[in-house]
């Protein structure tokens, strides 16, 4: 098994084979979470630090659960309790943490490129748990795993991504991941929420919601944040729900067996009609389950690589 | 001039004086603080220091019309002494320093302080640029009359665009009363918003907020319209976009009272230099696209752009070794501008005279200051350039306190080997 990455900074660095390796290893780890005793000794004695500069429930917990099920020691540092409030720079904080010899730093930060900055200054492996509007690689990998599970393949599928593409690191990583695996990615969003040149990443920008969703195998919608109303990027949530929200009428345009995905947390009634969110087409909770398996795989692959070296 | 005045004879150089239409091999004699003779020199004083500059260019001292010296207020980044030494090492005999110091240079006291410090340092000539508005807040005019008399050569709120069009109009009018140049940082602040690099597929790929080139274009349009309305002398700082070059070209064809500069990084690097979030590629305006770089080179070649200025912006690691979003804008430029500009000659974009116009004659003329000439009787501000010297610069080689440059530890070609200011040698690699 070849895995050439010491850090996980973004899916842009991952080849198709790298992605397949992660998905296959994640598949094999899923079984651990179904046991009564949900623990394997693989990473015993390893130290994993969660360094979160942005609030997160799901991702942080998912990494922590993943590390603990592999028997690694995990520590959580969130901004509220950290030295950032005392004026310490990010690089200094990281160097201090690195002096305690962790094996992996898992970082979330509101500024794009922060994991790259840390990777330049610390000896530990760095996993990007979401940086600004750049990437969220583990989320895209769990989305890829979820799609492969439900559809048996990724290549040749039509994946519609609808919503705030411009501010979504999840969308960015998914565009890279799904196109690299041979899926067609169709985007739809108000023009104010489409980043410049996104079609050059390999996605197709659609002129209507129907165009994006028609015959899709996967419909993914994204969280829309309240501050987008102020920018000004949108006039109102009411209008957003009417023209860009996903409901049964929209889902009817997709393939009958299409699945619905959302990276969470969901604004019910805005980007997603509650009736669809709770329907049989929704795989939102499978995404969460697969998140643990994918993060176990990433931790394993990074540290197995270190063992070989 | 007494017979005992120190003299310097530069022998066998390639003397390039665009104003006089001269580009020929010859000698140049400096006696005291003035150029005594050019070409064939026959009455060299016996005490003259004779320097053989065979293979080198002898040009009017380079003038950088856009630097940040950081003093007063941010001396940990740069001070007038270190900035002047960096200028001399880079071949500059004069610099115009921007007013965004702490406090802002918006009054006679700060202008006078800068000039007194520069005089005490005694290295290169320093010309203060004062603020357009009090505190550079974009609300009220600064006191241009008093600033002019104290020694300011221009006004600018550099770094902070003047968003209020009425204030910009009045600044152009009021500055004209005192024959002051108005230097515009042409950028629509609302369009630039939280942007940290050029907007396009690269900013999308990196997840960084983009600054559209339109942020520069709309402001250049506005300021050109206001200059034509008022007749005030307008100078557009650090042009970075193809559209701005085109606007300025058309305005000049109409006879608008406008001049413009660009910086070496805008004709050398593209937005790709941001790479993996390299904060030494973060500047304002941002690095743009290959098409913009090509248009800027064309603008330098055809005279649309009048000057190459460095926008020398020293910062410490405190401002640069941080998250890209939080990093300060700008790079140091005084000690790399000449080799980067010489690249334009090597690539056939400019001839040597054209380059000297952009780095010396034009900025001196635009600012209305001494320099830009090698005529007998002119002040002895002279730069001797070895166009072939190959070398690299590391952080420790820079005289500037700022080490923030993407051009360190990479091959450079061409450098100043002698800088003479008012007859005194301020930088010397010849001995």
Q: What is the pLDDT along chain B (431 residues), one digit of tens a residue?
A: 445 679 999 999 999 999 999 999 999 999 999 999 999 888 889 999 999 999 999 999 999 999 999 999 999 999 999 999 999 999 999 999 999 999 999 999 999 999 999 999 999 999 999 999 999 999 999 999 999 999 999 999 999 999 999 999 999 999 999 999 999 999 999 999 999 999 999 999 999 999 999 999 999 999 999 999 999 999 999 999 999 999 999 999 999 999 999 999 999 999 999 999 999 999 999 999 999 999 999 999 999 999 999 999 999 999 999 999 999 999 999 999 999 999 999 999 999 999 999 999 999 999 999 999 999 999 999 999 999 999 999 999 999 999 999 999 999 999 999 999 999 999 999 97
Q: Is residue B372 part of a domain?
A: no
Same domain? B358 vs B409: no
Same domain? B141 vs B16: no
Same domain? B71 vs B54: no
Q: Which of B200, B210, B323 sits opposite A111 (nearest CB)?
A: B323
Give the CATH number, domain containing residue B25: 2.30.40.10
Same domain? B92 vs B51: no
Q: How far apart, in whole angstroms, are the C-alpha atoms of residue B287 and residue B406?
A: 12
Same domain? B268 vs B166: yes
pLDDT of residue A80: 63
* A109 contacts B207? CB cut-off 8 A: no
pLDDT of residue B2: 46
Prior bond of A275 cis (ω within 30°): no
Q: How far apart, in whole angstroms, are the C-alpha atoms of residue B362 and residue B360?
A: 6
**In angstroms, what separates the C-alpha of B97 from chain A's closest C-alpha?**
30
Same domain? B144 vs B212: yes
Q: How far apart, in whole angstroms, are the C-alpha atoms of residue B26 and residue B232?
A: 41
Q: Nearest-CA neighbor of B95 among B81, B110, B109?
A: B81
Query: How many CB pairs (< 8 A) connect A and B?
Result: 68
pLDDT of residue B431: 73
Same domain? B85 vs B163: yes
Q: Which of A117, A195, A201 sits opposite B277 (nearest CB)?
A: A117
pLDDT of residue B43: 83
pLDDT of residue A309: 53
Q: Is residue B1 part of a domain?
A: no
Which residue of A11, A172, A195 is the best one to mutate when testing the B interface, meaning the one whose CB has the most B CBs within 10 A? Answer: A195
Q: How far apart, in whole angstroms, are the C-alpha atoms of residue A58 and residue A53?
A: 14
Residues in A touching B321 (Cβ below 8 Å) = 89, 91
Q: Is residue B205 part of a domain?
A: yes
pLDDT of residue B286: 98
Give the CATH number, domain containing residue B85: 3.20.20.140
Q: Which of B200, B207, B326 sits opposite A133 (nearest CB)?
A: B207
- Cβ proximity of B269 and B406 under 8 Å: yes
* B205 contacts A201? CB cut-off 8 A: yes
- Cβ proximity of B9 and B58 under 8 Å: no
Highest mean pLDDT among A4-18, A69-83, A229-243: A4-18
Tally of domains in chain B: 2
DSSP B101: S
Q: Is residue B3 part of a domain?
A: no
pLDDT of residue A79: 73
Same domain? B32 vs B108: no
Residue A14 scores a pLDDT above 50: yes
Domain coverage including residue B389 = 8-58+378-428
Same domain? B52 vs B72: no
Which residue of A131, A175, A196, A202 is the best one to mutate when testing the B interface, meaning the one whose CB has the most B CBs within 10 A? Answer: A196
Q: Is residue B344 part of a domain?
A: yes
Q: Is residue B119 part of a domain?
A: yes
**In angstroms, what separates the C-alpha of A89 from chain B's closest C-alpha?**
7
pLDDT of residue A81: 55
Residues in A touching B324 (Cβ below 8 Å) = 111-113, 117
The last residue of one of the domains, among B348, B367, B386, is B367
Residue A307 scores a pLDDT above 60: yes
pLDDT of residue B166: 98
Residue A270's CB is within 10 A of a number of other CB atoms, namely 18
pLDDT of residue B42: 84
Q: Which of A111, A135, A195 sits opposite B325 (nearest CB)?
A: A111
Same domain? B355 vs B420: no
* B277 contacts A116? CB cut-off 8 A: yes
Q: Is residue B2 part of a domain?
A: no
Q: How far apart, in whole angstroms, are the C-alpha atoms of residue B429 and residue B34?
A: 22
**Radius of gyration, CA atoms only, chain A:** 19
Q: Which of B64, B106, B311, B386 is catalytic?
A: B311
- Cβ proximity of B116 and B126 under 8 Å: no
The last residue of one of the domains, among B347, B367, B387, is B367
Residues in A touching B326 (Cβ below 8 Å) = 111
- ipTM of the complex in this document: 0.92
Residue A55 scores a pLDDT above 90: no
Q: How far apart, in whole angstroms, are the C-alpha atoms of residue B405 and residue B281?
A: 8
Residue A264's CB is within 10 A of a number of other CB atoms, namely 16
- Cβ proximity of A196 and B201 under 8 Å: yes
Residue A115 scores a pLDDT above 80: yes
Determine whether B386 is an active site residue. no
Decide: pTM greater than 0.80.
Answer: yes
pLDDT for A87-109, tens place per residue?
A: 788 899 889 999 999 999 999 99
Q: How far apart, in whole angstroms, are the C-alpha atoms of residue B237 and residue B242?
A: 14
Residues in A touching B203 (Cβ below 8 Å) = 195-196
Residue A215 has phi, psi (to 5 degrees) of 60, 20
> In this predicted structure, which of A135-149, A262-276, B16-30, B112-126 has the lowest mean pLDDT?
A262-276
Numbered residues of chain B with Cβ closer than 8 Å to any chain A Cβ? 199-210, 212, 276-277, 318, 321-326
- Cβ proximity of A59 and A131 under 8 Å: no
**In angstroms, what separates the C-alpha of B325 from chain A's closest C-alpha?**
6
| Residue range A223-249: mean pLDDT, rounded | 89
**Residue A84 confidence class, pLDDT cut points 50, 70, 90:** low
Q: How far apart, in whole angstroms, are the C-alpha atoms of residue A149 and residue A294?
A: 13
Q: Is residue B411 part of a domain?
A: yes
Same domain? B358 vs B227: yes
Task: List all residues 6 or more positions away from A280 whose beta carbon is below 8 Å from its beta carbon.
Answer: none
Same domain? B44 vs B179: no
The last residue of one of the domains, among B367, B386, B419, is B367
Q: Which of A117, A133, A198 sits opposite B323 (nearest CB)?
A: A117
What's the Cα-to-Cα distance from A239 to each of A22, A234, B238, B313, B330, rounded to whole Å?
Answer: 40, 8, 42, 46, 42
| Residue range A207-212: mean pLDDT, rounded | 97
């Amino acid at each position: 098994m070849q895995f050439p990455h010491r850090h996980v900074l973004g899916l842009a660095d991952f080849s198709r084979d790298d992605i397949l390796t992660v998905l296959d290893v994640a598949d094999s780890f899923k079984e651990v979470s179904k046991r009564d005793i949900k623990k394997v000794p693989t990473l015993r004695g390893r130290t994993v630090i969660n360094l979160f500069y942005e609030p997160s429930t799901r991702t942080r917990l998912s990494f922590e659960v993943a590390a603990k099920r592999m028997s690694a020691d995990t520590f959580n540092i969130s901004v509220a309790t950290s030295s950032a409030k005392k004026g310490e720079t990010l690089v200094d904080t990281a160097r201090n943490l690195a002096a305690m010899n962790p094996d992996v730093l898992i970082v979330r930060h509101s500024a794009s490129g922060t994991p790259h900055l840390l990777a330049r200054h610390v000896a530990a492996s760095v996993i990007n748990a979401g940086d600004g509007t750049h990437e969220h690689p583990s989320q895209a990998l769990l989305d890829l795993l979820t799609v492969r599970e439900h559809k048996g393949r990724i290549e040749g599928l039509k994946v519609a991504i609808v919503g705030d593409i411009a501010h979504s690191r999840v969308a960015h990583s998914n565009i890279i991941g799904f196109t690299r695996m041979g899926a067609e990615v169709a985007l739809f969003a108000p023009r104010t929420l489409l980043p410049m040149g996104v079609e050059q990443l390999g996605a197709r920008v659609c002129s209507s919601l129907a165009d994006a969703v028609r015959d899709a195998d996967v419909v993914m919608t994204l969280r829309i944040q309240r501050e987008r109303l102020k920018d000004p990027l949108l006039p109102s949530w009411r209008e957003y729900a009417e023209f860009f929200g996903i409901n049964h009428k929209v889902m009817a345009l997709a393939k009958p067996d299409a699945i619905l995905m959302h990276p969470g947390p969901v604004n019910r009634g805005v980007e997603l009609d509650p009736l669809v969110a709770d329907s049989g087409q929704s795989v939102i909770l499978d995404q969460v389950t697969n998140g643990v398996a994918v993060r176990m795989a990433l931790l394993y692959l990074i540290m197995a690589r270190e063992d070989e070296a | 001039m007494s017979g005992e005045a120190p003299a310097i004879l530069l022998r066998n150089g390639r003397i390039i004086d665009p104003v006089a239409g001269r580009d020929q091999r010859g000698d140049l004699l400096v006696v005291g603080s003035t150029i005594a003779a050019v070409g064939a020199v026959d009455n060299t004083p016996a005490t003259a220091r004779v320097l053989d500059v065979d293979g080198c260019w002898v040009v009017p001292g380079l003038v950088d019309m856009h630097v940040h010296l950081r003093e007063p207020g941010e001396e940990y980044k740069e001070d007038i002494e270190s900035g002047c030494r960096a200028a001399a090492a880079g071949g500059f005999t004069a610099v115009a320093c921007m007013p965004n110091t702490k406090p802002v240079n918006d009054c006679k006291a700060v202008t006078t302080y800068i000039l007194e410090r520069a005089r005490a340092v005694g290295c290169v000539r320093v010309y203060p640029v004062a603020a357009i508005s009090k505190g550079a807040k974009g609300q009220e005019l600064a006191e241009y009359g008093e600033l002019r008399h104290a020694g300011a050569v221009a006004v600018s709120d550099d770094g902070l665009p003047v968003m209020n069009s009425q204030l910009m109009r009045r600044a152009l009018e009021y500055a004209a009363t005192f024959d002051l140049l108005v230097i515009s940082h042409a950028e629509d602040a609302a369009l630039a918003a939280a942007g940290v690099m050029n907007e396009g597929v690269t900013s999308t790929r990196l997840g960084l907020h983009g600054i559209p080139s339109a942020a520069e274009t709309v402001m250049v349009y506005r300021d050109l319209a206001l200059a034509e309305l008022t007749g005030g002398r307008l100078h557009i700082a650090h042009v970075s976009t193809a559209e701005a070059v085109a606007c300025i070209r058309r305005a000049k064809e109409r006879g608008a009272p406008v001049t413009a500069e660009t910086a070496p990084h805008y004709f050398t690097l593209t937005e790709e230099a941001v790479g993996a979030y390299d904060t030494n590629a973060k500047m304002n305006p941002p690095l743009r696209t290959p098409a913009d770089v090509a248009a800027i080179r064309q603008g330098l070649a055809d005279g649309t752009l009048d000057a190459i200025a460095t926008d020398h912006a020293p910062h410490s690691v405190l401002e640069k070794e941080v998250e890209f979003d939080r990093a300060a804008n700008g790079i140091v430029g005084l000690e790399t501008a000449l080799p980067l500009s010489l690249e334009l000659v090597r690539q056939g974009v400019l001839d040597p005279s054209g380059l000297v116009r952009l780095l010396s004659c034009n900025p001196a003329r635009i600012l209305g200051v001494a320099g830009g000439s090698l005529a007998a009787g002119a002040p002895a501000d002279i730069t001797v350039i070895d166009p072939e010297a190959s070398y690299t610069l590391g952080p420790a080689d820079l005289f500037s306190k700022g080490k923030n440059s993407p051009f360190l530890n990479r091959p450079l070609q061409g450098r100043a080997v002698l800088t003479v200011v008012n007859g005194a040698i301020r930088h010397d690699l010849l001995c």
